[in-house]
Every structure is written in C-alpha cells, then in structure tokens.
Amino acid sequence: MKRLILIVTLCLTSLLLISIEIADELWLNAVKIKEQSAYIYPTTTNYHSLLKDKEGNVKYEIDIFLEHYEEDGEVVNRFVEGFSKEKPLTEKDQPVPRYLSTAVLMKKEGVFQSTISDDFKLSRLANETIDGKEYAKYEGSMRSWHEKREVKSVGFAWLDAETGVPFKLHLNIDPSSMMIKSLDATTYYSLSEEGYLTSDKLVTEIVVDIFFKKLYVTQTVTKRDFKKLGSEL
C-alpha cells in the first residue's frame, strides 16, 4: 500500500486567470532550482503508515526508520528500527532495497517542466498568502506513462512569489484501478543553506474499496539531514 504514491490534484476554481502557453519566469526559476538539486538524498527517513476503516477505527499502523549513506558512488539504505501497534518490527518484517535508486535521485519532479504541451498544461492563479508569506499558485494537468499505461493527474503548486522556490505541491492521480478510488499526495519543500531544494515531507492519502468496504490509507514520509551524492554537502 505504501508504494502507491504520487502525482497531481484537484478541482475547478473561480480564481483561474489564464492558461499560459509558455511557462512564466517564476515557474522557470522553479524548474531551474529543481534541476540543480539532482542527487540530493536524505540521511534519515521515517515512513509512517496508517490504515483506517470508514468509521475511523485504526486497523493497521507502523513506523519504519531508515538511514542512508554513500558507498562507492551509491546511496545505501539501512534499516534502523520499526514499530507496529502489536510489536517491534525487524528488517525481516519490512525488507528494504539495498540501494536508493540513482534514477530517483536525478529524476526531475514530473510537474516541474518548462515545456507546455498536450501532455502538460499550466495555468497561473491568483497569489495566495500562507502563514503571512505570499506564494504564486499554479494549476496544472499532466499526462504520462508508466509501464505502457497512461497516467493522468491534476494538481496545484505553490512557489515563493519572489524567487520561485517551490513550497508545496498537491497532486491527484487517476488511479485507473477498480480497487483504488482516489490517490492524493502533497509534497512540502524547503531550500537548504547551500541552495538545494529538498522534499522534506510527502503525505499520500489513498481510498481503497475492497469487497465493498472502504479503507483509508495515509502514509507520511519525513526526510531529514540531506546530502549531495559525491560531495560533503
């Protein structure tokens, strides 16, 4: 369940201004920042998974803690500890891949692209103030392919209104599944002192329907203490 993750969300809005054919300067700054932040990895990750029924009763809950370190040009994953409601977990209970995929480290965020096309559409909305800070808000839709299957997604992105640094990305992906009824993901970003963009937290919410029973899955991935592969960031 926890591997069901992201890409872009949400509804129509009366704040929609215009559909842009060429990404504006602020958006291009976000694309540039994201590209410059390739090969950034966290040294610690916490996975918290929660499963509830429609009445809100907790059916399943676990916490997994990993460490990541560089070895021979690769990022190695190490299981630290894990907990469930019933008992402590071991790596045997929750096996993890030996390496953090280099492809994942270098991959640009799918929605942060500069070319507007039939597969990627972008609209600038009215600015929004969050906790006293002004952000430029965008609405977008994207079409991509995964294992020869078309994946459609829509969503919103919030950028610093002055610099274009991404602050938050909220995505809704069409699950194209009889069992999965909805899949939403929100990524929270920050900029390190060195100027690298880090995705500090990802919250994924999934609604599944199994034999006419609705279940609600929430996974929160929290990442800390980032480094750049091949350097002492």
What is residue 35's predicted lDDT score, i.e. its pLDDT?
Answer: 85
Distance in angstroms (rounded) separating the CA atoms of residues 38 and 184? 24
Q: Which amino acid is at 112?
A: F
Kindly state whether residue 216 falls inside one of the protein's structural domains: yes
- Count up the domains in the chain and report the number: 1
* Residue 34 neighbours by CB distance under 10 Å: 21
CB of 5 closer than 8 Å to CB of 139: no
Q: Tell me: the pLDDT tens digits for 139-196? A: 988 777 666 677 778 889 999 999 999 999 998 887 666 678 888 999 999 998 888 8
pTM score: 0.80
Kindly state whether residue 7 falls inside one of the protein's structural domains: no
Distance in angstroms (rounded) separating the CA atoms of residues 20 and 49? 38
Kindly state whether residue 61 falls inside one of the protein's structural domains: no
Per DSSP, the chain holds a count of helices (H) and strands (E) of 2, 14
Kindly state whether residue 64 falls inside one of the protein's structural domains: no
Q: Tell me: the pLDDT tens digits for 6-58? A: 222 222 222 223 334 446 889 999 988 988 888 889 999 999 999 999 888 99
Of 104, 131, 124, 85, nearest to 45 by C-alpha is 104
Kindly state whether residue 120 falls inside one of the protein's structural domains: yes
Kindly state whether residue 174 falls inside one of the protein's structural domains: yes
Q: Tell me: the pLDDT tens digits for 72-128? A: 888 899 999 999 888 888 888 777 777 776 555 555 446 676 665 667 788 899 999
Residue 156 tokens, joined: 């919103």
Kindly state whether residue 158 falls inside one of the protein's structural domains: yes
Residue 140: which domain range? 16-41+109-225
Distance in angstroms (rounded) separating the CA atoms of residues 117 and 225? 36
